[in-house]
Amino acid sequence: MYKILEKEALNPTVTKMVIEAPLVAHKAQPGQFIIFRASEDGERVPLTIADYDREKGTVTIIFQIVGAATMELNALNEGDSLVDFVGPLGTPSHLDGLKKVAVVGGGVGCAIAYPTAKKLHELGAEVHSIVGFRNKDLVILEKEFEAVSNRVVKMSDDGTWGEKGLVTNALEALIKEGNQYDEVIAIGPLVMMKFVCKLTKEYNIKTTVSMNPIMIDGTGMCGGCRLTVGGETKFACVDGPDFDGHLVDFDEAMHRGSMYRDFEAHAREAECN
């Protein structure tokens, strides 16, 4: 059993939990994820590791309350336990040797972008973080990004936080300013990552994205998380979740992601009743 040591609402729909999981904490690396089950008959859901503390044996997860499983998780409180907390899974991000990086986070994707920015900062890279939210009420991890970035550009769709506009506008402005990035790392909604990649392709800047498709076993057995990358089938759970964004078929990923919307809506209704 994996005890919830801390629970904090970061905004009305996003929650942070610190979980007691010493074996996962011992091996965790940025870019990896866990799969949890809140109860015996709960759904298995992947979540990226937002932070870890090897000495305390804890792993931090940040999740958006979007479906039945995350509603069930969010109903638990400090002192309660999860039935399963399997990991670390996936391939760690390759961050060594990067000197100057733009980290682009969108919405709850910032929970995944933050540990990446933090690790790059620890490795001595110059980090420019571009973080975007729909509005100021949805902002998470503002101080955390400021602490690990040489520069933070804040964007919101409605102009209630930072500048009004899209993260792609901010990234293009930084590139045009003359910033030469070794790499852009983009993590957020599929449509955001697609357009970041379209932009960086024009400027010929290597771009890594973190893909978060539906996962079932998380070990490469079920095929549920398959993606097309460079014309080949890849499994996000074992080959990723990081991929070369210029090779990912985003349109296919968006289509596959929408296939389960009705099913998820029914599950959410059942969880509410």
The site for ligand FES (CB under 6 A) is made up of 215-218, 220-225, 235, 237
Q: Identify which of residues 22 and 92 has a Cβ nearer to ligand FES in the complex.
A: 92
DSSP 102-142: EEEEEGGGHHHHHHHHHHHHHTT-EEEEEEEESSGGG---H
Least distance from C-beta 129 to ligand FES, angstroms? 29
3 state DSSP class of 195: helix
**Tally of residues, the chain:** 273
**Could you tell me the two tokens for 124?**
């001595």
Least distance from C-beta 216 to ligand FES, angstroms? 5
Q: Identify which of residues 33 and 145 has a Cβ nearer to ligand FES in the complex.
A: 33
Least distance from C-beta 93 to ligand FES, angstroms? 18
Q: Identify which of residues 16 and 226 has a Cβ nearer to ligand FES in the complex.
A: 226
Least distance from C-beta 219 to ligand FES, angstroms? 7
Measure the CA–CA gap between 21 and 16, rounded to whole angstroms.
Answer: 15
Least distance from C-beta 66 to ligand FES, angstroms? 18
Report in angstroms the alpha-carbon separations of 105 from 38, 54, 163, 259: 27, 25, 15, 25
Beta bridge partner(s), residue 187? 105
Q: Identify which of residues 110 and 211 has a Cβ nearer to ligand FES in the complex.
A: 211
Beta bridge partner(s), residue 34? 47
Q: Identify which of residues 182 and 217 has a Cβ nearer to ligand FES in the complex.
A: 217
